[in-house]
Amino acid sequence: MKSNVGILPSSHGSYSIRLTWILSLVVAFQIEGNTTPSPPNILFILSDDHTSQAWGIYGGILAPYVKNDNIKRLAAAGTTLENAFCTNSICTPSRAAILTGQYSHRNGVYELDDALDPDTTSVAKLLQASGYNTALFGKWHLKKKPAGFNDFLVLPGQGRYHNPLLKGPDDWQDANGGGKEYQGYVDDVITDQALNWLRNQDRQRPFFLCTQFKATHEPFDYPERNRHFLEGVELPYPDNLMEWGAAATGRTHDGWPLEILGHRFEQQAGKGYPGPPFSLKGLDSVEARKKIYQKFVHDFLRAGATIDDNIGRLIDYLQQSGLWENTVIIYTADQGYFLGEHAYFDKRFIYEQSLRMPFVISYPPEIPGGARLEDMILNIDFAPLMLDYAGLPTPEAMQGRSFRSNLQGQTPKDWRHSIYYHYWTNQPERPAHYGIRTGRYKLAYFYGKARPGKAQDVMSYPPGWEFYDLKKDPGESNNLYLKKSNSRIVKKLKGQLDALQKETGDYW
């Protein structure tokens, strides 16, 4: 449901709603038709880069090796999204999109160094205004002081894995400053804080609790208890681990290969990256790539195992305290991540491993257990969904749409069949690009230009298009844009892409 709330343009191009309008809207909406006596609690769990290949419940070559007992508990009790996608695959912009229900060009958070204006309308502010008790613990990464939360303790910037600093309202400093040290592994500490907050809640008020982990972000560190997990096990390799740059695939760029990570392992082992000293001396290119992959993915899965531990602690508390039945629980990651596919690590690209967001949701009174949802969902839809559960309408400022009915098996006839993506940061190996993904096809334009006012890197390749048939080439290993037999579908996709840019307001 959309409201007719008035909107005011802010200085950075996003939209904000006056608090008095929010309150009057909430009251009006409740009088008009929301007769739900007790809106559900909402527990939103967000990890960093914990990609679907490492969840186990999505299958893949790593599924037999992943520790995912508690992710599976959530999936068995609820619904797993098969086709959830981010609109800009990088941490800060994706987190802003989740909170605001807006694309980057609307909320003003385009790149890692951008900040979310505290005056911007967000799901937290709307829930707080409606009477929810709201809290945030963990990674924030949006620079400015969190708005819409009654309580918060967040990491300065990326934070650190061991004995982290956390800062709250009383010692706030913008960006990476401030904080008090807490002993322990970062995500254990974050979960401790979330559980302490839950134990002290007034049961007469619903809560909105954001528990946001640092793992599995680089340098992929883990607590001592998981140091021996998968020790001595050779993990399987992706089929396209041995891609060697643009020439092998027809791509418009070389990408972000594992060799960059290998150099970091060699230079910084023991100084941030976990484990013993690392060396590639004497290895040929294939042997070196395999060794980098093994260390990387072992560390990644160990960090992911710790996330699963802490999801279990949160589930256990909700079940033991009688809150489980009336709590919407969401677990997702801010974007996907390459685990050696195309010989890449990191994210940013429109390719599937980076674009796809793993997502599972449980709400026993309404959502069927063990179900899978195939519909195309975007991170800008998360805020409208949570507002819907709270009995609140989606403001016009939000560009996303609630998918509550989809989760009940009643997909609206006008639901989207394609998605729009735009990555704004520009580097020679990771050019700025935008594109469209449908159920079968993907078309992207790597234009390789920085935003106005940003430094322009010298590009190694000219701007270019990429086209993939995901049915015939699910690994996206062959750019077929120049193949004449595809010209008709490419022309059609360009028309759809043009329409999506106009629809979203990102037309230039």
3-state secondary structure of 433: strand
| Residues 160-182: tens digit of each pLDDT | 999 999 999 999 999 899 999 99
pLDDT band at 247 (very low <50, low <70, confident <90, very high): confident
CATH number of 420-504: 3.30.1120.10
Q: Which residues contact 276 (CB under 8 A, 6 or more apart)?
A: 269, 270
* SS3 category, 30: helix
Helix (H) or strand (E) holding 330: strand 327-333
The CATH class given to the 39-222+296-416 domain equals alpha beta
Which residue type, as a one-letter code, is found at position 315?
I
| Predicted confidence (pLDDT) at residue 152 exceeds the cutoff of 60 | yes
Residue 21 backbone phi and psi in degrees, to 5 = -65, -40
- 3-state SS assignment for residue 85: strand
User: How far, in whole angstroms, is CA 377 from its chain's centroid?
Assistant: 12
- Please determine whether the domains at 39-222+296-416 and 420-504 fall in the same fold group of CATH: no
Place 457 in a pLDDT band, splitting at 50, 70 and 90. confident
Q: pLDDT tens for residues 55-99?
A: 999 999 999 999 999 999 999 999 999 999 999 999 999 999 999
pLDDT band of residue 455 (cuts 50, 70, 90) is confident
Res 32: pLDDT: 41
Phi-psi region of 25 (alpha: psi -120 to 50; beta: other; left: phi over 0): alpha
Q: Report the Cα 139 to chain-centroid distance in Å.
A: 12
Give me the helices (H) in 186-331, please: 186-199, 246-249, 258-268, 285-320
For 191-230, what is each residue's pLDDT tens digit?
999 999 999 999 999 999 999 999 999 999 999 999 999 9
Where in the chain are the domains?
A: 39-222+296-416, 420-504
Amino acid at 337: Y
pLDDT tens figures, 40-49: 999 999 999 9
Please tell me the predicted confidence (pLDDT) of residue 4. Answer: 33
